[in-house]
Structures are given as C-alpha cells and as structure tokens.
Amino acid sequence: MRKLAALAAATFLTVAAAPVVHAIDHGKGYPGFCKDDKGVTVVIDFQQLGGAAIVRCNPQSTAGTGLDALKGAGFQVAGVQRWGEAFICRVENKPAAADQIPINGRENYRELCIDTPPAAAYWSYWHAGNNCAWDYSQWGVKNRQFLQGGFEGWSFSLNATADTNPVPRVAAVRPGTEGKACNAVDEPKPVSNDPGETQAPVQGRQPQATPEAEQQATPPPGAPTGALPPPKPRASATARPKANDPSSNIAFSGGENAEDVNEVIKRTSGASDYAPWAAGGAVVVLLAAGFFVARRRKRANES
C-alpha cells in the first residue's frame, strides 16, 4: 500500500512540474503567405473535415523540419501515441476526437490518435517550391527539411488512394510572384527503409532567390488571391510542373480567429475543473480507508 502512495505522489509531482495552460501562440508566425523568400508558408486544407483552409507563414530563416514549419507557423498539432509527432493525426484539433469520420465501410470511425490512422483517413503531407505544383512528400514530417521560400501543405485525405490523394487546394504561389518559373529541384527520395532517415539539409537545394525586380506588385498579405488577375504563363526551364493558377484557390484565412485548441477540447469534452480534484480526493480517501482496514485486520489477526 505504501508503494501505491509513493507511485501516486510521484505522478502528482511529474504532472505538477508541467507548465500551466497557455493560450495559442499567435505570436508564432503570421497569417497568410510569407512576404518574401525567407521562411516557409504552411497551407492547411481541411477538405471534407470542413472549415476554411488556413495559410500561415513561419518566418524562420534557418533550416528546420516539416514539424518545425508547422509549429513555427503557430499551428497546434497532435501526433499519434504510438509514433509521437512523427505522425501527425490532428491539425488544429481536426479531426477532433469526437468527430465521426465517414470512412467507407467504417462510417462511425473516430480518430483517437493512438495508433497509425487508417489509410482512408489521414493528413496527407505535401510540399512545393514557390510557383511549383504540390508534391506528395516521400518523407516523414520530422525527416524532411522545409524549403526556404517554399511551401508545406497538409490536406486531409479521406477515402482516397495513393493516386487520388487530394492536393491542397491553395496553389503554392506567393502573392507577387505569380507566373514566375518554378525553380525548385527534385528532392531526393529516401534511400533506405529506415523511418529515421533524414534529409540532408543541402544548401544547394535552396532555390535561387528570385530577383526583386522581377516581382510584380505585391498584394497585401492575406488578401484573397482569387481576386487577382491570372498571371501570364511563362516558359520554365525546369522540369518541375508549375503551380496551379492561384485564381482557383479555395477560400482561406490566416487562422486569426482560431480558438486555442486546449480551450476547445475542454469545452467540447465537458471536462470539469472540479473532477480532477474529486479524482485526487477519491484516490486519497480510498488509500486512507485501505490503510485503516488493513491495520484493523492486522490487529484482529494478532489478537
């Protein structure tokens, strides 16, 4: 019984050591596309999960992983319990644990983020250089390096196959660079089956900075790009397919009004502020009662 008490105490201490709740860090990154070729633009397309797409910029000018890009842009993500953040299962609390995801054949599926999500309902991971078409990432989120001035995309894939994974419906085109050539080089594919293999952060892979002079007038960030006139098609020297026309972008926001995920969870789950105290109290009461019963029994046996 004493061991149990020690265990309980240890758990309390560890939990107590965790920092207090803090609101979503809107201070991380900024809404909309990146303003220049520093940093990486992250596009989240919720697809069937509903809600407007979110585009935010992580202005980090140093090298970083796809996960750094997500977090640095201010997104709140959750990994599965089994793999941790190496496998993102929720972005901005979507799909929420209580949501039913209509997978074909399993209409009542809920994503509990415990094991790898099913192939029919997961966040597909994309990347693109500026002005380039989206590419399905061959790398895990912790294993690839984001492209300075490039794009990272997340698009929820529901009931799709490897060939029909939905591309993020926001073109990887920074406002003001429409019609420019896609300068990105093909990124190397993983050479091994090792899940821990990481991309080498090669400087040569960074696209050449687009000369400032070539840029057209930059619209204010966050402005609906759909309103812009279509850029003139330009011949590109690279082999990479070009990005879609930004005019076909779906509606998106910078996530300015997104609520803190923890707050949402707390509100939707019906959690009570008092329940943890009640639980702790119940544990203490049961331990004390157990202790007294054991002692009384011991005395009875001895007498």
Residues 11-30 that bind another protein (CB under 8 A): 11, 14-15, 17-22
H-helix segments, 56-149: 66-72
DSSP 243-267: PPPGGGPPPEE-STTPPPHHHHHHH
Site string for another protein, 266-295 (x = CB under 8 A): x-xxxxx--xx-xxx-xx--xx-xx--xx-
Give the bridge partners for 77, in sequence order: 91
50 binds another protein (CB under 8 A): no
Size of the site for another protein (CB under 8 A): 61
Cβ(124)–Cβ(165) below 8 Å:
yes
Shortest distance (Å) from residue 181 CB to another protein = 36
Shortest distance (Å) from residue 201 CB to another protein = 17
Shortest distance (Å) from residue 62 CB to another protein = 16
Distance CA 57, CA 77 (A): 16
Residues 170-209 that bind another protein (CB under 8 A): 192, 194-197
Q: How far is CA 123 from CA 43, 91, 126, 139, 167, in A?
A: 12, 8, 10, 13, 11
Shortest distance (Å) from residue 172 CB to another protein = 26
Cβ(171)–Cβ(131) below 8 Å:
no
- Which amino acid is located at 209 in the chain? A
241 binds another protein (CB under 8 A): no
User: Can the peptide bond before residue 95 be classed as cis, meaning omega within 30 degrees of 0?
Assistant: yes
Residues contributing to the site for another protein (CB under 8 A): 1, 3-4, 6-8, 10-11, 14-15, 17-22, 71, 76-79, 81, 84-85, 90, 96-98, 110, 112-114, 192, 194-197, 261-262, 265-266, 268-272, 275-276, 278-280, 282-283, 286-287, 289-290, 293-294, 297, 301
